[in-house]
Amino acid sequence: MDAAVTDFNLGGMNGIEVCRLLQRSAQSHGRTIPIIVMSGSELSDLSKAAVEAGAIAFVRKPFNPGELCRLLESNFFPQSAALSESRERDAPAD
C-alpha cells in the first residue's frame, strides 16, 4: 500500500484505530504509510490523536480536493511540492 485516506467514523473501528493498525503492519516490514484521516467533526483532539497514531494529516470535511492532493504530493514528491508552493507564493496577486 502506498498511501491511505480514511474517514474517522467507520463501522466497527475508527480511523485512528485503522491508522495504528496500518502503521504497525507497515513497520513490521520496515516501512511507514502516509495516512490522512478525515472527519466532519471539529474536535481538535481528533487531529492530535490522528497524528499521534501515525497520520501525516487530519483533514476536516468538507475538504478541498486540491488540499488533499497537495498533502499526498508533499509526501511522495517533496521537491515538487516545495516548487509548487514557491510558485503559488511568488505568483502576482489578481
Give the range among 7-16, 25-34, 61-70, 82-91 with minimum mean pLDDT.
82-91
Helices (H), the chain: 15-27, 44-52, 65-76, 78-90
- What does the block give as the cell for 38? 478525515
| Residue 36 neighbours by CB under 8 Å, 6+ apart | 3, 4, 5, 6, 55, 56, 57, 58, 59, 68, 71, 72
CA-to-CA dists, residue 62 to 4, 8, 40, 41, 77, angstroms: 18, 13, 7, 10, 25
pLDDT over 70 percentage in the chain? 82
| Domain 4-90 class, CATH top level | alpha beta
Please state the domain extents for the chain: 4-90
Q: What confidence score (pLDDT) does residue 38 get? A: 93
- What does the block give as the cell for 20? 495504528
